Amino acid sequence: MTKTRTLLAAMSVSLLASTSAFAGDVRIMWYSDGVEGDVIQDLLNRFMKDNPDIHVTLDNVAYKVIQEQLPIQLEAGQGPDIARVTNIKELAQHWLDLRPLLADPKYWDDNFADTLDWMRPDGSKAIPGFMTQLTLTGGFANKTLFEQAGVALPGDKATWDDWINAAAQVAKSQQLPAAFAIDRSGHRISGPNVSYGANYIGSDGKPAKVDDGTKAFVGKLVDWTAKGLMLKDTWVSAAGSTYRAAADDFINAQIPFYYSGSWQVANLSTKIGDSFDWVATGSPCGSAGCSGVKGGAALVAIKYTKNPKDVAKVMEYLAREDVVKEFSERTLFLPAHKGVVAKGGLKWVSTDKNVGPALDKFVKAAGEALPAADALPPWKWANAYFAALVTRVSQVMAGELTLDDAWGKIDQDIADKVAEAK
Amino acid sequence: MSGVVTFLTRRRGGRGWHWTDVVSWLWLFGGLVIMFGPAVWLVGSSFKTPAQLAVFPPTILPYVSQQAAVEGYDKPLTLYRVKLPDGSTKVLAEARRVGIVAQMVDPQAPNDIVKINIANRQPVREIGFATENYTEPFVHFDFLRYLRNSVFVTVMATLITLLTNSMAAFALSKYKFRGRDLTMLLIVGTLMVPLSVILVPLYSVVGAVGLLDSLWGVILPTVATPTGVFLLRQYMLTIPDELLDAARMDNASEWQIYWRIVLPLAAPALAVLAIFSVVWRWNDFLWPLVVLSRKELYTLQVGLNTYAGQLNVQWHYILAMTVVTMIPVVLVFVFLQRYITSGIAGTGLK
Amino acid sequence: MSGAATLKEWTGAALAAPVAWLASIVNVPLKAWQRATGTGGMAAFFLAPNMAIFGIFVLVPLVINFFYSATSGTAYFLQDRSYVGLEQYRRLLDCGSYLDTATCREDLFWKAVHNTGLFVVVQVALMTVVSMITALILNREIAGRSFWRAVFFFPVLLSPVVTGLIWRWILQRQGLLNLIVHDLGGEPYNWLTDRFSAFTAAVSVSVWAHMGFYTLILLAGLQAIPRDLYEAAEMDGTRPARVFWRITLPLLMPNLLVVIVLALIRAVQIFDEVYVLTGGGPGTSTLYVTQYIYEIGFASLLRNPGLASAASILMGLVLVVLTLLQLQVGRRGERKGQRE
């Protein structure tokens, strides 16, 4: 038995030894929604050819790992050297400040000015990384279905009511199960809420109670669901804050109007193919404006790295203007780089005639976002607010809760979270 | 042929058809459809392209649109079955579509363009396999390394599980000692702890023992399965104590009794546990995910889940890789399940 | 058949020789140990490896979990969390009436408790009956027995995520089932957005996915029942139903007990496949305790590990009581079985 033990111990030691970090090793934890893993690997291979002393390993993981396991590793003072993450604000204390390591910090300040606050603690001047992808929520319409029904697509300043009425006509004439759908996500309904005047952020920076703007749009949404205008499945067929996309219903021409976001463009393009024509519509208007909400995934350096210098080199390379441009063009992601956006002329790598105009529309719609919406990505409590909204609103849709009870529950859930985080 | 028929219709006790025979066969064939149907469909679906997977209503077999090369067009055109205004149907190729109007041509006479409302055309489909679902991951994905890690974890964990669990079960079923019931209760009591509940404490413990980012960190926490101890103990309780006493009379040591008598007699239960252990360890996902953060150490399940993104899951790859990862477990099952029956026969103790 | 047997014997012998040799080597020091400590020492020896691993990787984390439930905060590691005593339990148990979830402070927890209770009762009963019938049939002399065994076992091999997904594709509004219903001339139905059918789906799919597991355990037990007992019964002309009640069931008791205990425990922990299948919906009607714990402990952006730990300990307590009850019943059954 002791023999086996020593053998076991020896084997585990050798396994451990083989994985310890060497100088020049940089680990990137990365998740993919589509082809971006291949694209970044390609870009990194080029980097390694020019910098033979740095070896970059791309650890592709499930998004779940980034969301649920990485925070545990970070809190234990471990983790990769660089990671692609989405809850960048809440984990901001774990990011490395690259500023002292960068050759040209001004380049970063200039080109990523709008999004740096999304990933550093309030008031900090740190440069933790950059956004690999900027997203904006917005709508998509099935142009072919509208044509078949003989209904004109609502124009640029059309309100939510206009859009739903038009989509309802289409659904009726084409015998579709519903007029529209929104992804099951608190983030997705926040743009419309803001368009109706909602503001989640209190004067002290803490979450405010649910206000009239939120009540106005959510009330409409619940009403549309009860009337069968909104596809019930997406929201009702899950509990808690589980994310559910309605993309498949749009892809199968079951709904003429779909509210999701810019990241769907590549997905829609591959799955719809030539079945019908679709357009991005931007966000419909409410009483206060026509706002979507921004978001996205950032690539950040992690404080616990043993090779900060090499990490900075890798980050500098990936944030280079030409590299960002190529990455965006090949992945069909909206870039967060000001220089790239200002110069324009992104050559989207796609043969689909629907893709270019859709992405351009999103770039344009980004300018329409209201201040209250732009305040959300750098706000620490945004995700908590989204989670409470989606949990309770879907209960209302399923008939388990009245709207009035739901407001109280949402306020309570968020207050609990704030109390817990003290 | 008649031999097969007699074989298939062989009945209980060789007498006439008993109602239980009818029920049995109905149950079996019903089971075949319900149990196997979805699984067969899974294999079929793993050959579908992402677009086909998203299609409503789903097809049973993977279909692709039929295409034909038409004179005067560079790319092959998709074929449609078209209802013409005169009421007849015809197979035409689509040259292009503008809004709801499709411009179709007859592949035989490519010069005449017919304008058709898209509601009046159905694509002509044929079965086609998207084998790239299988080949692509093999290129981009270090399949062999993941396979080696998975095999190592599964084999080691199963061997250790069988040995330690059977030893513990032997002690708990065949010895009377103080604290036995308490130990049993402790073990059974922890059967019910879902991993997700103790994940963070377990992570701290494994970190403290220095097993993070090592395959042993995946193996060791899983091997002391309460299920295994419980299952084996319940089985060993049915082994008569007289057998053990007889062996003791013959001067056998306790270890020999365990090794030579109890283990062979518990073979069916060991086979059951071995099958489960292989299935569990092979399919383990959450725990390896936490322990392993370097891709050199990934197991297959962790590897294939890299296709699950935030906003989009690449199901076509996940399904294909699921089918591939299922093959070894099916083989293990087919091999081990024989022992469930032969274990009894082999002991000569009926 | 004989070819396979010889191959099996051959590989068996090749593998067995070194293992047997190893076992005989181990025997030497152990004999000495046995002489020194008596059989009591041997019991300790047999228990030691399992309990050591068990202690480090199960018990210690469990004890740590206890401490978690007495702390608050969003930090993952104990040293960074603040002590709040029984506050988390107070919050969970704060209810106007335990029968009306809407009056509870943590309404979703109680909703999940209610749902889980109903699910467990229905699922365990169905699971036991279905696996029992299947095991009895597979134990008969039917043609192609190992093929049929594989058929019923097959779903166990699938990962829960894939199981949930396949069935979601079958049951969703535009799924395979509705396609079949439509072809038969019926009205398509939205199986997953109706309370009752979603519950039925959750129960059926979990039985589908795991029944092979329990069938195998029962089958192993049935195989161990000596044939001559049946032959004797047949000679006496005993009716099959009586044979089942008087011979099969009592002798199968230990295995049946394993099945019921395991099925019960797994049913209480039900999570992955239902999570993928219904996501807990419609509304919260298939939200089960583990999903609640998972969401509140890890996934949800309203994360609260202390509350999750407290909920898991409450759930654990309920299960300990249930298991004790079952073991008690089972022990009585065993004694009865032995007497006959």
CATH number of domain containing A372: 3.40.190.10
Chain B residues within an 8 Å CB radius of A38: 140
Q: Looking at the predicted structure, is the pLDDT value of residue A315 above 80?
A: yes
Closest CB to C141 among B10, B254, B272:
B10
Total count of residues recorded for chain C? 340
Quickly state the pLDDT bin for A330 (edges 50, 70, 90).
very high
Rg of chain B's alpha carbons, rounded to an integer? 29
What's the rounded Cα separation, in Å, for the pair B280 and B222? 9
Strand partners, A280: A140
C162 & C262 share domain: yes
C152 & C268 share domain: yes
| B310–chain A Cβ distance below 8 A for any pair | yes
The reply to whether residue A409 touches residue C302, judged by beta carbons under 8 angstroms, is: no
C46 & C134 share domain: no
> C335 by DSSP, 3-state: which?
helix
pLDDT digits (tens, 9 = 90+) for A53-63: 999 999 888 88
The reply to whether residue C27 touches residue B199, judged by beta carbons under 8 angstroms, is: no
Q: Looking at the predicted structure, is the pLDDT value of residue A6 above 90?
A: no
- Please give the tally of structural domains in chain A: 2
Q: Which two tokens stand for residue C248?
A: 């099969």
* B82: CB partners within 8 A, 6+ apart: B89, B90, B91, B92, B104, B114, B116, B120, B121
Query: Which residue of chain C has the CA closest to A186?
Result: C301
A349 class by beta-carbon count within 10 Å (0-12 exposed, 13-18 middle, 19+ buried): middle
| C292–chain B Cβ distance below 8 A for any pair | no
State the pLDDT at residue C10.
63
What's the rounded Cα separation, in Å, for the pair A119 and A131? 9
Q: Which two tokens stand for residue C138?
A: 């597979």
> A291 by DSSP, 3-state: which?
coil
Q: Is residue C232 part of a domain?
A: yes
Q: Is residue A15 part of a domain?
A: no
Q: Does domain B133-347 have CATH number 1.10.3720.10?
A: yes
Q: Which two tokens stand for residue A175?
A: 């015998």
Counting DSSP H helices and E strands in chain A, the numbers are 20, 8
The reply to whether residue B295 touches residue A38, judged by beta carbons under 8 angstroms, is: no
| C330 residue type, one letter | G
Q: Does domain B63-127 have CATH number 2.30.30?
A: yes
Q: Is residue C321 part of a domain?
A: yes
- Mean pLDDT of the A131-147 span: 93
> A371 by DSSP, 3-state: which?
helix
C114 & C239 share domain: yes
Closest CB to B289 among A60, A65, A247:
A65
Q: Which two tokens stand for residue C327?
A: 């073991």
Chain A residues within an 8 Å CB radius of C174: 252, 254
* B117: CB partners within 8 A, 6+ apart: B100, B101, B102
Strand partners, B81: B91, B122
Chain A residues within an 8 Å CB radius of C289: none
Strand partners, A256: none
Higher pLDDT, B13 or A205: A205
State the pLDDT at residue C339.
39
- Mean pLDDT of the A389-405 span: 92
Q: Which of A183, A186, A167 is nearest to A227 (CA)?
A: A167
CB atoms within 10 A of CB C25: 11
C149 & C32 share domain: no
C290 & C148 share domain: yes
Q: Which two tokens stand for residue C18?
A: 């070194």
The residue of C82, C110, C301 whose CB has the most chain A CBs within 10 angstroms, and thus the best one to mutate to test that interface, is C301
* C2: CB partners within 8 A, 6+ apart: none
**Average pLDDT, 10 consecutive residues per value, chain C (340 residues):** 51 72 84 81 89 90 88 80 87 85 87 93 96 91 82 84 85 83 82 90 95 89 82 82 86 86 85 86 88 78 80 82 71 51
Q: Looking at the predicted structure, is the pLDDT value of residue A3 above 70?
A: no
A143 & A282 share domain: yes
Residue A203 C-alpha, separation from nearest chain B C-alpha, in angstroms: 32
Range of the domain at A302: 25-134+296-343
Strands A294-301 and A129-142: antiparallel
State the pLDDT at residue B196.
66
A43 & A162 share domain: no
* A364: CB partners within 8 A, 6+ apart: A282
What's the rounded Cα separation, in Å, for the pair A171 and A178? 6
Q: Is residue C25 part of a domain?
A: yes
- Describe the crossing of helices A2-17 and B215-223 by its angle, rounded to 10 degrees: 140
First to last CA, chain B: 35
Chain A residues within an 8 Å CB radius of B307: 32, 62
| A28 residue type, one letter | I
Closest CB to B309 among A33, A38, A270:
A33
Higher pLDDT, A70 or A216: A216
State the pLDDT at residue B49.
82
CB atoms within 10 A of CB A350: 18
CB within 8 Å of chain B, chain C residues 188-217? 208, 212-213, 216-217
Quickly state the pLDDT bin for A182 (edges 50, 70, 90).
very high
State the pLDDT at residue A22.
58
Q: Is residue C135 part of a domain?
A: yes
State the pLDDT at residue B16.
61
Higher pLDDT, C189 or A223: A223
Chain C residues within an 8 Å CB radius of A421: 73-74
Q: Looking at the predicted structure, is the pLDDT value of residue B128 above 80?
A: no
Strand partners, B293: none
Quickly state the pLDDT bin for B212 (edges 50, 70, 90).
confident
C31 & C137 share domain: no
Residue C256 C-alpha, separation from nearest chain A C-alpha, in angstroms: 35
- Mean pLDDT of the A302-314 span: 94
ipTM of the complex: 0.80
Strand partners, A57: A27
Give the domain-ending residue among C46, C68, C90: C68
Chains A and B form CB pairs within 8 A to the count of: 117
State the pLDDT at residue A20.
43
Closest CB to C295 among A87, A241, A254:
A241
Residue C135 C-alpha, separation from nearest chain A C-alpha, in angstroms: 35
The reply to whether residue B42 touches residue C158, judged by beta carbons under 8 angstroms, is: yes
Q: Is residue C85 part of a domain?
A: no
C161 & C237 share domain: yes
- Please give the tally of structural domains in chain C: 2
Chains A and C form CB pairs within 8 A to the count of: 107
What's the rounded Cα separation, in Å, for the pair A323 and A331? 12
A144 & A288 share domain: yes
The residue of C115, C290, C303 whose CB has the most chain A CBs within 10 angstroms, and thus the best one to mutate to test that interface, is C303
A219 & A273 share domain: yes
C168 & C129 share domain: yes
Give the domain-ending residue among A343, A378, A407: A343
Q: Is residue A20 part of a domain?
A: no
A289 & A412 share domain: yes
C234 & C123 share domain: yes
Residue B290 C-alpha, separation from nearest chain A C-alpha, in angstroms: 6
State the pLDDT at residue A153.
94
- Identify residues of A whose CB sits under 8 angstroms from chain C CBs: 1, 67-68, 71-72, 75-76, 87, 177, 232-233, 236-242, 244, 252, 254, 383-384, 386-388, 391, 394-395, 397-400, 405, 409, 413-414, 416-417, 420-422
DSSP code of residue C154: G
Report the percent of chain A where pLDDT is more than 70. 94
A249 & A315 share domain: no
* Sequential DSSP letters for A243-271: -B--HHHHHTTS-SEEEEETTHHHHHHHH
Residue B215 C-alpha, separation from nearest chain A C-alpha, in angstroms: 8
For position C180, which CATH number holds? 1.10.3720.10
The reply to whether residue B253 touches residue C27, judged by beta carbons under 8 angstroms, is: yes
The reply to whether residue B293 touches residue A29, judged by beta carbons under 8 angstroms, is: yes
Judged by average pLDDT, the poorest of A203-212, A282-291, B131-140 is B131-140
Q: Looking at the predicted structure, is the pLDDT value of residue A19 above 60?
A: no
A241 & A147 share domain: yes
The helix or strand, by DSSP H or E, that contains position C16, with its residue range, turns out to be helix C2-54
The reply to whether residue A34 touches residue B207, judged by beta carbons under 8 angstroms, is: no
- Mean pLDDT of the A37-55 span: 93
A287 & A304 share domain: no
Strand partners, B127: B63
Going from the C-alpha of A353 to that of each of A274, A281, A348, B95, the distances in angstroms are 10, 16, 11, 16
A123 & A164 share domain: no
What is the Cβ-side half-sphere exposure of residue A290, based on CA atoms within 13 angstroms?
22
DSSP code of residue A333: P
State the pLDDT at residue B341.
63
Q: Which two tokens stand for residue B93?
A: 């190729």
Residue C174 C-alpha, separation from nearest chain B C-alpha, in angstroms: 5
Residue B207 C-alpha, separation from nearest chain A C-alpha, in angstroms: 9
Q: Is residue A267 part of a domain?
A: yes
A280 & A403 share domain: yes
Contact predicate A19/B211, CB 8 Å: no
Q: Which residue ranges make up each domain of chain B?
A: 2-45, 63-127, 133-347
State the chains in contact with C (3 or more Cβ–Cβ pairs under 8 Å): A, B
| C178–chain B Cβ distance below 8 A for any pair | yes
- Mean pLDDT of the B3-21 span: 56
Range of the domain at C234: 98-339
What's the rounded Cα separation, in Å, for the pair A235 and A400? 13
Please give the backbone phi and psi of residue A140, each rounded to the nearest 5 degrees, phi first. -130, 140
Going from the C-alpha of C156 to that of each of A291, B35, B278, C160, the distances in angstroms are 48, 10, 11, 9
Q: Which residues of B216-233 are buried (b: 16+ CB within 10 A; e: fewer)?
A: bbbbbbbbbbbbbbbbbb
Contact predicate B59/C179, CB 8 Å: no
For CA atoms A159, A163, A166, A169, the dihedral sign is: negative
- What's the whole-number average pLDDT of chain B? 80
A328 & A241 share domain: no
Rounded to the nearest 10°, the torsion over CA C58, C60, C65, C70 is 160
Quickly state the pLDDT bin for B276 (edges 50, 70, 90).
confident
| A33 residue type, one letter | D
C227 & C332 share domain: yes
Contact predicate C53/B220, CB 8 Å: yes
Contact predicate B227/C262, CB 8 Å: yes
- Mean pLDDT of the A130-152 span: 93
Q: Which residues of C284-301 are buried (b: 16+ CB within 10 A; e: fewer)?
A: bbbbbbbbbbbbbbbbbb
Quickly state the pLDDT bin for A44 (edges 50, 70, 90).
very high
Please give the backbone phi and psi of residue B101, each rounded to the nearest 5 degrees, phi first. -110, 130
Residue C266 C-alpha, separation from nearest chain A C-alpha, in angstroms: 21
| B95–chain C Cβ distance below 8 A for any pair | no
| B142–chain A Cβ distance below 8 A for any pair | no
Contact predicate C179/B57, CB 8 Å: yes
CB atoms within 10 A of CB B293: 23
A37 & A59 share domain: yes
* pTM: predicted TM-score of the whole model, two decimal places: 0.84
Please give the backbone phi and psi of residue A303, each rounded to the nearest 5 degrees, phi first. -55, -30
Residue A69 C-alpha, separation from nearest chain B C-alpha, in angstroms: 6
pLDDT digits (tens, 9 = 90+) for A246-302: 998 899 888 999 999 999 998 899 888 888 899 999 999 999 999 999 999 999 999
DSSP code of residue C299: I
Strands A278-282 and A129-142: antiparallel
